[in-house]
Amino acid sequence: MTQSKACAVALTISYLLVAASAGNFYSDVDITFGGERAKILSSGQDLSLSLDQYSGSGFQSKHEYLFGRFDMQLRLVPGNSAGTVTTFYLSSQGAGHDEIDFEFLGNSSGNPYTIHTNVYSQGKGNKEQQFHLWFDPTAAFHTYTIVWNSQRIIFLIDNIPVRVFNNHEAAGVPFPKSQPMRVYASLWNADDWATQGGRVKTDWTKAPFTASYRKFNANANRVGPNSKSTSSKNENQAWSTQDIDAAGRNRIRWVQNKHMIYNYCKDSKRFPNGLPVECKRSRFL
């Protein structure tokens, strides 16, 4: 079996192993903007967000969390999605906020989506990595996952790790670990920058643009008003120490070698005085 076929088989197996457990959007989230452009469907199992020339739409989790595993299945805007941005991310609020981002930057028909990832801590980001996918994210649902614990943040697609951001506080690199975050999702217009640096604009004759969400699952430490965890003691807490094993390292190398299109740790023009400290300490950033 060739290496490419072996990778394809591994990716297929990993997709089949993605957990199917899910919550209910009626009980788990609040619509935050867009009015009727955001629709909860199928008795709370599905949710769609739409964008037109007047507004986008979005939602947030009812609860705040401090560490956990967060899964969401998405089917992105099909066809000509240029100028649109679909998101699934965690964020705290206020000055010096923390944030962990999955952003999906649309493109003109026939061109691939750009998967944009970033990590903010204490209000500072600038840790972007971007990827093109090995599948069409508009043809079917795929699972996007953020694992967040005190040692690292892992970004996964169909249970395949694509990025790891390790805790390097000992080297002076801030790491999000003390501010509870909510889960957010949105669909909005960003044609001033999202597609080919803003050169390709949104074609409003194609509106409304619609992205679909389902099977949201937060296996996480829920934080209540008294700042104590309200998660079940019976929950699987494997995420609390989750790391990348040998098989995961092979997969992340494959993804980053074949599908990464931008890595801030290789952008010496952006950092003329030297790359960020963490770039010298871990290959998988």
Residues β-bridged to residue 102: 88, 117
Helix (H, G, I), strand (E, B) or coil at 15: helix
**Active-site choice (64, 99, 128, 169):** 99
Q: Which residues pair with 182 in a beta bridge?
A: 91
Strand partners, 217: 71
- Please indicate whether residue 128 is annotated as part of the active site: no
Residues in the chain: 285
Contacting residues for 14 by C-beta, under 8 A, at least 6 apart:
158, 159, 160, 251
150 near 32, Cβ under 8 Å? no
Annotated active-site residue 99? The verdict is yes
Q: Which two three-digit tokens encode residue 217?
A: 């699952």
- Yes or no: say if 210 and 41 are a contact pair by the CB < 8 Å rule: no
Q: Which two tokens stand for residue 102?
A: 């999955």
**Active-site annotation holder among 36, 103, 235, 278:** 103
Structure tokens at 58: 């979005």
Q: Which residues of 131-142 are buried (b: 16+ CB within 10 A; e: fewer)?
A: bebbeebbeebb
Q: Which residues are part of the catalytic machinery?
A: 99, 103
